[in-house]
Amino acid sequence: MEGIKLDKVTFEFTQEEHCCSSAMDGVELLTIECISDYGLSDDDSGFFVLKTEQWAIDGTEDIAKLLMKVKQAIDIVR
């Protein structure tokens, strides 16, 4: 779509709290934003900004898989 640019994408994820969590309401929330100075439509990279009070993972592959899913979703709408 010419003239329409994708500037910023925000994803919100939730998961049940883990055994040592102090999350409110038993739910952990993770927000991932993808932004770019040039607009995501014109820039193949962009920055990933992670925001959370608490988000537990079992290993580094968990966060890598999550970021790949975010990237794949962004690539679809680019």
Instruction: Kindly tell me the sign of the dihedral angle through the C-alpha atoms of 66, 71, 74, 75.
Output: negative
pLDDT band for position 10 (cuts 50, 70, 90): very high
How close are the terminal C-alpha atoms of the chain, in Å?
10
| Under 8 Å between Cβ of 47 and 40 | no
Averaged pLDDT score across all residues of the chain: 84
| Under 8 Å between Cβ of 44 and 71 | no
- How far apart CA 52 and CA 29 sit, in angstroms, is 6
Per-residue model confidence (pLDDT) at position 33: 94
Per-residue model confidence (pLDDT) at position 17: 85
Length of the chain: 78
How many C-beta neighbours within 10 Å does residue 65 have?
A: 11
Domain ranges of the chain: 8-77
Per-residue model confidence (pLDDT) at position 78: 66
Over the stretch 12-64, which tens digit does the pLDDT of each residue have? 999 988 777 666 678 899 999 998 877 787 767 788 999 999 898 989 999 99
